[in-house]
Every structure is written in C-alpha cells, then in structure tokens.
Structure 1
C-alpha cells in the first residue's frame, strides 16, 4: 500500500507532539513495509530517510486549471499578527486582524505559475499558508497517481487532504490530534472550527487519538459514530532511560512540562504546589514551557509567596528535556482537556512516576498512574506528597509503568492503521 500523507512538521523541526506522532507513525509503517509519500510545507534537508518526502515549497502550482480556481475560491485564511503554534489558545487567536474569502481576482497570477516558498513555521501568515498548502495538495494529487489513500494530520493539513481527494478521487482519512475545544474550551475560534468540521465531514474515515477525542468529534462536530475510530499514540522506544545527569539541589523536584496554556491546566499545578510546600518546604516545583499564561503563573507564584521554591525554565528541547525528566521525582500533567498527551509516557521512560488528569487520552492506555480530576487541587497535592514521601508507592508505579510501555509501540499502532486503510478503500470500491 502507498499512502499520500500531509503533515505540517516532521522531526527534527517540530514544535510539539504533532510532529513526534507523525514520525512514530511513519516509522511504524516502515516496520510493516508500507510506503508513505510524506508532504510538508517546507523540508529542511536533515529529516531522517523514512518516507518519500515532498517539499511543498518546491511544487509549482498551475492555478489556471478550472479545478484549481474552484479550490482557491473556496479557501479562507486568517492574517494573524503574532507567531503561533498549531495548538492555539483563545488569547493568541484573538490577535487576528483580518478574515477574507478569496476569489481568483485576489490572486497575483505569478504566485501560482511558479513555486510558493512556505516559511515552515507558525507565523503571522499561518492561515494563508494553510490555504496555499491546499493548492500544493491538489497539484501533487494531479501529478502523481502512485498512491492508494490520502491521510491528513490535524486541521492545518485538512484543506490539503480535501483538495487532493477532489482532484484524485482517492479516499481520505483525517487524523485528529487535537480539536478547537481542547485548545479553547467553549470559546472556539469559528474559522478554525469550520476547517476542522469540513475536514471531518469530507473524510471517508476519521481517526481520533483517544476515546475522549472521538466523543468530541461525534458530539461537537456532528460526525457519524461509525465513521470515527480510536488510534492511540505510542512511544518510539519503550526502554527505560538511565541518565547519569544529577540534580544540583538536595530537595525533591516536581515537574510540569508542557505549554503554559488554558488546555494544560498550569494554574492547578501552582495551587497544588502551595499546598505541598506548606506541608513540606523541602520540595521544589518546576514549570518548564512557554505560553500565553506564563506571566499570569509567575504573578500567582509571587502572590502565594513560594517563588523561592518555584522555578520557570522557559521552553525546553532536546537534551534539556531529558535532563529535566531525569532529575524529577514526580511528573504532573493536570490538563483540562488533553486529546492524548505523550509527555507522561516520556516521563515513565525516565523512571519518573506520573500524575495525570482523568481528562486526558493517555489515561486510557497508562493504567498504572495516579489519576485525578484536573480541578481537584487537594487530590493533586495529596498524590504529589504521597509519591515524594512513601518510597513503596513511588517504586510500585515506576515498575508498573515500565511494564506498560512495552505494549505501547508505534508498529502496533501502524498495524491498526493499515486495517483502517484497507477497510476504507474496500468501502469505496
């Protein structure tokens, strides 16, 4: 089988879990000898040779064709004044300045008779690039016939997947890694919601990264239940990492590592930290990451007078992430709404016991972890205190967690995905 897959990023150039999941899935497909044509807006040249990569910035668009004009006419974009990531919070999205419906009269013809250079980032022209990426998808689908099915990852790539389906007539699978309801609660950004909904309804099948996400897709987007299946994420390597990196402080360390946004529930972590420090001042808390709630969290820590025991590292990547996991005694993910959440699995790989919210997809596969409601600060504080002070409990969760990881491999996920592909193709024929 040969799959035409549209993503927005691929390691080593990523900004979050979306790129990591794409990497794992493609690697899992390789394990089963399946071929993937992986399209990204911009290739950097140092991607691992796992797929037949296509650089969107190298594709020449001929928009004069009637189908291309129709696709462009139906596309919309936001002109955003700030740099964004694919998981946008409500405060970030409020900065948009213009919303335009395009017709061919808006287009400088020279743009599409040549190549369009994508930034490959999440900048102020993000939504414009999403629209142009759709034309790239259409052009690739027109030029190539050597694929059996189309797979588009998240809303950024949904328009490209739809366009490729319209041109080729091949079945489309869309992969929902997060929804606008996860990012923004009930204050959804309507244009993004519309893109998500259009992708889900145009698709022949919808993949959700958890049962939690599947329910949102069905209830909030009106997608028939029979059309949506769950495909959990996994880990690239299930082995336990034994790091030689040593912490430089005598106290125990409790870590929050993720985007500091509404979705991740950082405020609940701060409130729980206060309760734990009141019971045991020999504990340090770390909030690693960046996001629109960072300044508010810094202010709240100051108000609670725990700044001498609370540290903000900023955004971490590479070895710094591994070092942070290695020196942590407890990892906490208090997400308000987490479609999946790969970070707790990485923490387990570093032999760190985890506390996760019941409102997370990873809670469906990581059974041997302490689970709390994100809003229950008292329960969170009690769980942190127990893991820090009762060695038997901590040791038990470390051992059970490492055993669970062995079942969470990308080749197992890929095997399930291939079955979905086969059924989807059979239903169309």
Structure 2
C-alpha cells in the first residue's frame, strides 16, 4: 500500500544546524523512493526545494498542495539562525527569557497553522519529528482524525545531560508521546529513556535507527595536508559544544594523551554555549597551542575534517543516536564512541568507552594512534559495516508502523 504522509519538521538541509534536519530529509526521501507521497511541512518559508518531497510552509497557506514541488529563491539565511537561536535538536541556546518565550510562541503558532493545513490536505497518517512539531502533529490529528506517529530524535533529558530539564519542553514532549498512536525512537537507548523518564509504555515505542547517505570524497586543505606529511596525528571532535556532547570530557582526555605524545593535534569543530569556556580551559590545561577550534562546519568541509583525522571521537554524555561516527567511517576514519549512545547499537567495529572514563578514553585514543594496523582494521571493517546502513531500512520501519495504525 502507498501512503500519503503529512510530515512535520522544524528544519531542512541546507538550512539546518545539525542532525535533526538531515534525519528528516533522509527519512522523507526514502519514503518517497519507496513509492509513498510525503508532504513535508516547515513552520516558515525558506529557500529550499527537493525533487522527491512536496514542501509546504505553514506561514504561507498558498503553498499547501499535494502535488506541488516548491522551488523558492529567497535569501540564503540558515533557518536555525536568527531570533530563535536553536541548536540542531531544538534546544534554546544563548537566549534571554524573552527569546525562549518567542520560541514557545512559535511552536504554538505552528500548531494552529497545522490544523488549517490538515484541513486542506489529503493524507493517511501524520508523522511529527521532535518536540518542536508535536503540538502541530496533535493539532493535525485533532482536525483530521488520522493516526499520529511522533518521532523522537533527542529528548530534553539528552540535551541537558540529565541536569535540570526545561519543564515546558518536557511537558510538550510527554504530551506528544501520550497523544501519539505510536512513537518511533531513534534507538533502543532512547526507547529506554522514554520508558524510564516519561513513563511511556514499552509496547507503544519502536526503535528506528538512523541511516546515512554516502557523499564523494574531498581533497584535504593544504594546511592539514602539510601537517599529515610531517607524520603528525589528528584526533577530531565534531559536534555541538554543549553539555550533551561531552566536549569537556574530550578535552580532559586530550590533556592526558598530550602528556604521552607530542605529535597530536586536537580539532574541536562545532559551536555551542560551551565554546568560550572550552577555549579558556584548553589554555588552562596547557594545550591551547594543540587544540584548534574551527567553528561550525558543514558539507564538504566536514568530509575534509573526517579524512584528515586519524581518529574521530564521540564523547557524548547522552546521545540518542549520533550520525557523525557513521559519517567518519564512510570517510574511512576509525571511531571511538561513547557507550551512552544509540549509534553504539549499530556499529561493532569501533572503540567504545563510558564518557566519564577520560583516562580510558585517552588510552584508547593512544591505541588507535600507536597501532596503525588496529586503526586500519577498524576503519576498513567499519566502512563496510556502515555501507549497509541506509535510510531505506528506517523508512521500512516507518511503513510497518503506518500499516499497524491504518489497517
């Protein structure tokens, strides 16, 4: 059976600040390639088009159509920038309380607009991604009577690393799970959080791991090429510099490794509310000259960083999934990943560590750098492993869920 899916998202590449938009596009495209019709709704009009998906903008009622493939050519301002100041999973960063209220107001507005969209659109099932879209999904269900699937990519528990949640966000998440006919979680790890922290029934949740899209290799920038030619090593952190991602744990491990080796450079790519503290901390630890902070990167620059690195490290405190290790392995760079992550469920050819064990993290970094044969085996086998991970499998789980809800 072919489904007409009304899908609600908050961001869409290239106007995304992280993994949420990438996952939404991957799932929507895979559903389309499998013969389903996806109407993907965004809260605001942005300059984006996609040949496989019907894009609708909630603030532009005239864009609602089951057949139109919207093509707009407006200013190239990233959707996650500007007054909302969001990170990739929708957490508010560096904002005043008034800006937080503005975000909540925007989420409520999206819900009101979603009700109108649901009344103008023909569809079989509603699919809403993360808390920012849950009020929209609930409103569409109320207006149409159609089943609602809420998809969780990151919880408030993850974003705050379990340290002082935003109650308003938590309440929206819990409401989304309770109003949903079924919940898709990005991993078994996240499923356990929903059961434990949100009191959602085990039977109501199905894990649906993320996929990955392969991209062509890139040439290394000259400065990194020269560094590598001299026999030096690079250990890479790439992600939001927030408490959830554990950049402080990475930095402590970098300090420990620096005592043993003088040939290692640490690159901490990304941005976030901890960045200034991390820069200051690296200086306090005496490794400021060995840690580079290139800021937020995307696209080809990301692949160049992966390819320049001898090891990629995911040091997250609580990572619902984590696409970056998959990206690293596609670029044939071995990975060291936190056991507190969903991606650890799908990769066996990786070094793994508990995020808080920085001594052991440093030791495993050193193993990968000291024994190239070990690193090469992990990279080659990991590369083959990751090439079997795709968005089509994620889409099949979505369709199985739709089947159960519509039969």
* Fold similarity call, TM over 0.5: yes
Tell me the distance in 2 between the aligned counterparts of 1:49 and 1:372. 41
Tell me the distance in 1 between the aligned counterparts of 2:87 and 2:378. 33
Q: Per-residue displacement from partner, 1:185-235 (whole Å, max 9, x unpaired)?
A: 131000000000001000000000001100111111111111101000010
Question: 1:236-315 counterparts in 2 under 5 A?
Answer: 236-237=213-214, 241-245=216-220, 247=224, 248-249=226-227, 250=230, 251-315=232-296
Aligned counterpart for 2:195 among listed residues 192, 205, 218 = 218
| Structure 2 unaligned spans of 5+ | 63-81
Q: Structure 1 residue 86: deviation in Å? A: 5.0
Q: How many residues of Structure 1 are paired with residues of Structure 2 in the alignment? A: 379
Query: Would you say the 8 A contact 1:12–1:47 is kept in 2?
Result: no
Q: Per-residue displacement from partner, 1:366-418 (whole Å, max 9, x unpaired)?
A: 11100000001111111111111101101110111011112211112111210
CA-atom RMSD in angstroms: 1.9
Tell me the distance in 2 between the aligned counterparts of 1:91 and 1:232. 27
Q: Structure 1 residue 15: deviation in Å? A: 0.9
Q: Per-residue displacement from partner, 1:287-332 (whole Å, max 9, x unpaired)?
A: 1111111111111111111111111111112222121112111100
Q: Partner of 1:125 in structure 2?
A: 102
Query: Would you say the 8 A contact 1:171–1:424 is kept in 2?
Result: yes
Question: 1:60-71 counterparts in 2 under 5 A?
Answer: none
Tell me the distance in 2 between the aligned counterparts of 1:301 and 1:140. 50
Structure 1's 81 and 418: CA in aligned 2 closer, same or farther, altered over 3 A? closer
Aligned counterpart for 2:154 among listed residues 168, 175, 178 = 178
Tell me the distance in 1 between the aligned counterparts of 2:46 and 2:256. 46
Query: Would you say the 8 A contact 1:81–1:96 is kept in 2?
Result: no
Q: Partner of 1:21 in structure 2?
A: 23
Tell me the distance in 1 between the aligned counterparts of 2:300 and 2:279. 25
Q: Partner of 2:113 in structure 1?
A: 136
Q: Structure 1 residue 43: deviation in Å? A: 3.5
Q: Partner of 1:390 in structure 2?
A: 371
Q: Partner of 2:307 in structure 1?
A: 326
Q: Per-residue displacement from partner, 1:261-284 (whole Å, max 9, x unpaired)?
A: 000000111111111111011110
Q: Partner of 2:140 in structure 1?
A: 164
Query: Would you say the 8 A contact 1:301–1:310 is kept in 2?
Result: yes
Query: Would you say the 8 A contact 1:366–1:404 is kept in 2?
Result: yes
> Is 1:411 aligned with 2:388?
no
Q: Per-residue displacement from partner, 1:91-124 (whole Å, max 9, x unpaired)?
A: 747x3249xxxxxxxxxxxxxxxxxxxxxxxx87
Query: Would you say the 8 A contact 2:244–2:317 is kept in 1?
Result: yes
> Is 1:96 aligned with 2:77?
no
Structure 1's 408 and 195: CA in aligned 2 closer, same or farther, altered over 3 A? same
Q: Partner of 1:8 in structure 2?
A: 10
Tell me the distance in 2 between the aligned counterparts of 1:359 and 1:329. 23
**Is the partner of 2:59 in helix, strand or coil?**
helix
Tell me the distance in 2 between the aligned counterparts of 1:148 and 1:196. 23
**Is the partner of 1:129 in helix, strand or coil?**
helix
Tell me the distance in 2 between the aligned counterparts of 1:288 and 1:159. 33
Please give the TM-score of this superposition, normalised by the length of structure 1. Answer: 0.85
Tell me the distance in 2 between the aligned counterparts of 1:53 and 1:81. 23
Q: Partner of 2:37 in structure 1?
A: 35
Query: Would you say the 8 A contact 1:89–1:261 is kept in 2?
Result: no
Q: Partner of 1:370 in structure 2?
A: 351
Question: 1:228-243 counterparts in 2 under 5 A?
Answer: 228-237=205-214, 241-243=216-218
Tell me the distance in 2 between the aligned counterparts of 1:406 and 1:318. 19
Q: Structure 1 residue 33: deviation in Å? A: 0.6
Tell me the distance in 1 between the aligned counterparts of 2:310 and 2:363. 15
> Is 1:343 aligned with 2:324?
yes
Q: Structure 1 residue 150: deviation in Å? A: 0.4
Structure 1's 149 and 354: CA in aligned 2 closer, same or farther, altered over 3 A? same
Tell me the distance in 2 between the aligned counterparts of 1:85 and 1:297. 18
| Structure 1 unaligned spans of 5+ | 61-79, 99-122
Structure 1's 88 and 12: CA in aligned 2 closer, same or farther, altered over 3 A? closer
> Is 1:47 aligned with 2:49?
yes
Q: Partner of 2:76 in structure 1?
A: none
Tell me the distance in 2 between the aligned counterparts of 1:17 and 1:88. 11
